[in-house]
Every structure is written in C-alpha cells, then in structure tokens.
A and B are shown apart, each in its own frame.
Chain A
Amino acid sequence: KAGVTQTPRYLIKTRGQQVTLSCSPISGHRSVSWYQQTPGQGLQFLFEYFSETQRNKGNFPGRFSGRQFSNSRSEMNVSTLELGDSALYLCASTRGQNYGYTFGSGTRLTVV
C-alpha cells in the first residue's frame, strides 16, 4: 500500500512569506503528526491531528498551524517565515500508539 506522501519535497521561500505543506497519510491511518528536524535538535514535535481535531501541540509559536481534513490528509502552515524555520518537516501517520509511526520523506524548507 502507498506510504505517507508529502508535497512538495523542496521549497525555497523568503523571510516574511507564508508556506503550506501537505501530507497524505497511509490509508486507514487517522492520526497524523508533524515534526521539525534541524541539525542538533532531533525531531521536534509540532502537532498531532486525529479525526480533524488537534489532539496535541508542541512548543512552537502560533505562526505554526495545521489542520486535518475528513479524508485524514493534513496541511501545515507557517506564516511570517523566519530564517530559523529552515528545516526538514516530517509528517507521520499511525493507526495507534503501539504501532509506531510511518514517516513521509519530508519537505525540505529553506528560508532565505
């Protein structure tokens, strides 16, 4: 079956702009989480959605937001981009806590 699909793979934006990233989970997975990966920081949790509701939120400013649609697809939005937002953004889906995550390949965002 198809894996977790993230689009686009690469993005270059300028400071102050906003960006929307997309994630299509594995069919049947209703939980979608987003992580930010930067060198030396590991994977930092952004938020988790389940059945169109945000269930958990990490320690990121309000410029980072997300949503989930009825088909479980999720989008993440970052407004007023800063240079420090340059990172690999990973989306992961799961059918339950004890099944672990399946990650997408990520979107590499570069802010210039």
Chain B
Amino acid sequence: DQQVKQNSPSLSVQEGRISILNCDYTNSMFDYFLWYKKYPAEGPTFLISISSIKDKNEDGRFTVFLNKSAKHLSLHIVPSQPGDSAVYFCAATPNTGNQFYFGTGTSLTVIP
C-alpha cells in the first residue's frame, strides 16, 4: 500500500527552465513532508521540508508547495541546472509516528 506516490518516474527539463516534481499522498494524518535528492551510489540527501501548517516553503532555487485539500505537494526548481539531475523522493510522516513514508522517486534530467 503506497501511501506516498510519485506518478512520474522521469522528467526532462532544459537548463534554465522550471522543473516541477509532483507527489500525492493518501494518509490525512501526514503532517510533515520532505524532499530528498539522490545521486547514484550515494544515500539520499535532505533538500527541503514543509509542515502542514504552511502551504509554501522556499529555499533558494527550491520551493515546495503543499495543497492539503488535494493531498498533493510539489517541488519547483527554478532555474534548473545540470547539477540538479538526480532522483528526487518525496517523503511524509504523521504527527504520531517516527516512520517516514517515501514515494518511488522521480528521475530528473536537466539538459544543458
């Protein structure tokens, strides 16, 4: 039972353009959401997070949007750079637990 879903396994974007990665979740108890970036042969690294009390969080080129009513979050990367090419995982956790639920990942390729 995949409670966090990333329906796009891959995405290609031209350098300088916006990359939008999407994530849907089913559990209404989730209240904290994170994005991780993973390069081959490395563990995922934390990118940005958002609490359910917010609908937007921005950090440099990265912005995460949360739509609680739609149970949807998205990560925007502007402008996209070739170094952003990686697999991006979204993750969610409920306020009562210590387990993070991950999506299946979206492989982003930024074309120079």
Contact = CB atoms under 8 A, between A and B. Distances in A.
B102 interface: yes
Nearest to A98: B32
Nearest to A92: B43
B41 interface: yes
Interface of B: 2, 6, 9, 32, 34, 36, 41-46, 49, 51, 89, 91, 93, 95, 97-105
Interface of A: 4, 6, 31, 33, 35, 40-45, 48, 50, 55-56, 58, 90, 92, 97-98, 100-106
Contacts, number: 64
Nearest to A9: B41
Given A58-B99, A103-B45, 15 more contacts: A6-B43, A35-B102, A41-B104, A43-B89, A43-B102, A48-B99, A90-B43, A92-B43, A98-B32, A98-B51, A100-B46, A100-B49, A101-B44, A101-B100, A103-B36
By DSSP majority rule, is chain A's interface helix, strand, loop, or mixed? strand
26 contacts: A31-B98, A33-B98, A33-B99, A33-B100, A35-B102, A40-B104, A42-B6, A43-B44, A43-B89, A44-B102, A45-B102, A48-B99, A55-B98, A92-B43, A97-B95, A97-B97, A97-B98, A98-B32, A98-B49, A98-B51, A101-B44, A103-B36, A103-B44, A105-B41, A105-B42, A105-B43
